[in-house]
């Protein structure tokens, strides 16, 4: 029998579960908390002197790794012709040995996304080193691809025919694409009328069984947890710890792209609250292995109308979370009862980060500002820019520090939002009032003219005067 290279440890009661006993909802049968993947040969928290698994292909046995060799290897793989090397997730496979056989990798060549220097934001804020790590530049247009390649490969390896998720849109798009690549079937549950069209169209395009339920995202999660108990479908929501192993890799890329100088801060949008902890896990593992010498502060930003973590930190010091009825136009993060909130609290505490919230007008303005850099993103990603402004205003981020904003989704995911913004129909007057002037300056509605060069030239002249 091949020995597994990893174990799953409950983040609540710390028990390790045998992989064969894992429940279909990925919750601990003892305390219902979520699991985290650990690697006996090198994870920090695993019991000292743990069995030294002789795992083919991990390359990391007990003892310090050869840091320079690993860095070189990961970079070198980018010029290989092999799929597992070209993937920006699997080229870091020494840090995510979750498969028994690499032949089971299902990949769309995800990852390897750009890190942009945000020069206009830098000019406006006075801070020079502001960057955007654009996870919207993944094959299906969101950060979900990095976690989908890992978790869906596990499902494939374990012989499932069906995979399923409840989603605000991006997870379903990613899952449907990867399932199609593997020749598997996928079941998508989405809240009726509450996801962006671009995302819905992707699920259909990639052939998912797509069901709109008359409820919100949290309601979809409830229904799906019943479904996975009663049918042999593999759950691919972010409660699945294998998702997070793939979602670690943008942190490795950031480190690599910054020449292994870790940024001072990383700002991440918060919805179901898994992603911040995945990135945090990667930074902690890198430090533990000696690849880097510190971790960034990780801060999480929620929409004001979907801010259960913000309230949990403000009102209960992160000890308790009360679900809210979520409402925001940033539909990707319209989540009132986030599954991974405890993991998020842990990572904020472990790294010394904060939680912020963003109003609808703040999100809309920030999205326009990111667009004006020639970068663009979907609304949920823009909360990171609001977080940056607020943390700078509060003196928590200094102009001398380096900051990475994690942009999670592509601007084309939700073009209706962008068009409404520029038409001036997105926000109510009350929402708009505090930022009326700033928003007005960023709006660029289309101009309709007769087909006449004179008319176009007049507009050109007018625009050049601004
Ligand atoms: N940004 C985007 C674009 C998202 O789609 C999501 C989550 C998040 C941020 C939040 O990440 O849940 O790890 O805190 N979207 C999920 C979905 C819920 O179904 O696509 P998180």
Instruction: Check residue 46 and give its pLDDT.
Output: 52
The per-residue pLDDT for range 391-440, each reduced to its tens digit, is 999 999 999 999 999 999 999 999 999 999 999 999 999 999 999 999 99
Question: Which of 215, 106, 232, 231 has the alpha carbon at shortest distance from 166?
Answer: 215
Instruction: Check residue 58 and give its pLDDT.
Output: 40
- The mean per-residue pLDDT over the stretch 297-324 comes to 98
The answer to whether the CB of 331 is under 6 A from ligand 1 is: no
Residue 426 DSSP symbol: S
Instruction: Check residue 104 and give its pLDDT.
Output: 98
Mutation test residue for ligand 1: of 151, 169, 170, the one with most atoms within 8 Å of CB = 170
Helix (H, G, I), strand (E, B), or coil: what is residue 404? strand
Instruction: Check residue 97 and give its pLDDT.
Output: 96
Instruction: Check residue 430 and give its pLDDT.
Output: 97
Q: Are 375 and 118 in contact (CB under 8 A)?
A: yes
Instruction: Check residue 114 and give its pLDDT.
Output: 98
Whose alpha carbon is nearest atom 15 of ligand 1? Answer: 332
Of 28-37, 40-49, 67-76, 269-278, the least confident: 40-49
Question: Which of 29, 3, 7 has the alpha carbon at shortest distance from 18?
Answer: 7
Helices (H) and strands (E) in the chain, counts: 18, 13
Whether the pLDDT of residue 268 is over 50: the answer is yes
Q: Which of ligand 1's atoms lies nearest the C-alpha of 270?
A: 14
Distance 121 CA to ligand 1 centre (A): 24
Whether the pLDDT of residue 315 is over 50: the answer is yes
Whether the pLDDT of residue 53 is over 90: the answer is no
Whether the pLDDT of residue 52 is over 50: the answer is no
Helix (H, G, I), strand (E, B), or coil: what is residue 163? strand
The answer to whether the CB of 273 is under 6 A from ligand 1 is: yes
Q: Which of ligand 1's atoms lies nearest the C-alpha of 268?
A: 9
Distance 335 CA to ligand 1 centre (A): 9
The per-residue pLDDT for range 289-300, each reduced to its tens digit, is 999 999 999 999
Average pLDDT of the residues of the chain: 94
Distance 332 CA to ligand 1 centre (A): 5
Distance 171 CA to ligand 1 centre (A): 7
- The mean per-residue pLDDT over the stretch 58-80 comes to 84
Instruction: Check residue 42 and give its pLDDT.
Output: 87
Q: Are 174 and 140 in contact (CB under 8 A)?
A: yes
DSSP H/E element including 16: strand 16-17
The answer to whether the CB of 8 is under 6 A from ligand 1 is: no
Whether the pLDDT of residue 54 is over 50: the answer is no
- The mean per-residue pLDDT over the stretch 445-465 comes to 95
> What pTM, to 2 d.p., does this model score?
0.95
Whose alpha carbon is nearest atom 6 of ligand 1? Answer: 332
DSSP H/E element including 355: strand 355-358
Mutation test residue for ligand 1: of 220, 271, 330, the one with most atoms within 8 Å of CB = 271
Q: What angle do CA 13, 16, 20 make, to 5 degrees?
A: 130
Give dist(CA 375, CA 397) in Å, integer: 23
Distance 442 CA to ligand 1 centre (A): 26
Whether the pLDDT of residue 160 is over 50: the answer is yes
Distance 237 CA to ligand 1 centre (A): 10
Whether the pLDDT of residue 99 is over 50: the answer is yes
- The mean per-residue pLDDT over the stretch 162-178 comes to 98
Question: Which of 76, 90, 216 has the alpha carbon at shortest distance from 146?
Answer: 90
Whether the pLDDT of residue 451 is over 50: the answer is yes
Whether the pLDDT of residue 62 is over 90: the answer is no
Distance 329 CA to ligand 1 centre (A): 13
For the sheet with 209-213, list strands across it: 209-213, 185-191, 162-166, 233-235
The answer to whether the CB of 427 is under 6 A from ligand 1 is: no
The per-residue pLDDT for range 103-112, each reduced to its tens digit, is 999 999 999 9
Distance 36 CA to ligand 1 centre (A): 19
Instruction: Check residue 325 and give its pLDDT.
Output: 97
Instruction: Check residue 61 and give its pLDDT.
Output: 57
């Amino acid at each position: 029998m091949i020995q597994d290279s990893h174990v799953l440890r409950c983040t609540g009661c710390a028990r390790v579960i045998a992989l064969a006993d894992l429940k279909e909802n990925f919750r601990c049968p003892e305390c219902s908390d979520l699991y985290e993947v650990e690697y006996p040969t090198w994870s920090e928290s695993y019991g000292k002197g743990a069995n030294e698994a002789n795992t083919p292909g991990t390359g990391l046995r007990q003892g310090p790794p050869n840091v320079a060799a690993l860095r070189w290897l990961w970079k070198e793989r980018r010029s290989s012709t092999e799929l597992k090397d070209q993937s920006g997730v699997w080229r870091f496979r020494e840090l995510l040995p979750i498969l028994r056989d690499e032949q089971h990798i299902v990949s769309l060549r995800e990852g390897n996304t750009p890190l942009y220097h945000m020069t206009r934001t830098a000019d406006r804020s006075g801070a020079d080193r502001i960057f955007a790590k654009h996870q919207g530049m993944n094959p299906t247009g969101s950060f979900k691809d990095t976690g989908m390649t890992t978790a869906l490969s596990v499902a494939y390896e374990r012989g499932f025919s069906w995979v399923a998720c409840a989603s605000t849109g991006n997870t379903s798009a990613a899952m449907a694409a990867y399932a199609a690549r593997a020749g598997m079937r996928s079941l998508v549950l989405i809240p009726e009328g509450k996801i962006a069209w671009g995302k819905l169209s992707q699920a259909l395009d990639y052939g998912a069984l797509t069901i709109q339920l008359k409820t919100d995202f949290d309601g979809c999660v409830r229904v799906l947890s019943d479904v996975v108990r009663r049918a042999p479908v593999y759950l691919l929501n972010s409660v699945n710890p294998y998702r997070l192993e793939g979602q670690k890799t943008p942190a490795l890329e950031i480190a690599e792209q910054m020449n292994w100088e870790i940024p001072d801060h990383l700002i991440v949008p918060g919805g179901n609250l898994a992603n911040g902890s995945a990135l945090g896990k990667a930074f902690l593992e890198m430090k533990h292995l000696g690849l880097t010498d510190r971790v960034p502060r990780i801060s999480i930003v929620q929409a004001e109308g979907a801010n259960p973590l913000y309230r949990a930190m403000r009102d209960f010091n992160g000890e308790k979370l009360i679900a809210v009825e979520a409402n925001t136009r940033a539909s990707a993060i319209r989540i009132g009862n986030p599954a991974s909130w405890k993991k998020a609290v842990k990572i904020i505490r472990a790294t010394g980060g904060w939680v912020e919230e963003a109003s609808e007008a703040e999100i809309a303005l920030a999205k326009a500002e990111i667009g004006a850099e020639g970068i663009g993103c979907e609304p949920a990603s823009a909360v990171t820019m609001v977080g940056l402004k607020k943390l700078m205003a509060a003196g928590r981020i200094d102009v001398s520090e380096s900051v990475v904003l994690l942009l999670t989704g592509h601007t084309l995911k939700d073009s209706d939002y962008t068009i409404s913004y520029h038409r001036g129909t997105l926000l109510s007057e009350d929402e708009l009032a505090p930022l009326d002037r700033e928003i007005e300056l960023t709006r660029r509605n289309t101009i309709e003219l007769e087909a006449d060069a004179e008319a176009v030239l007049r507009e050109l002249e007018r625009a050049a005067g601004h």
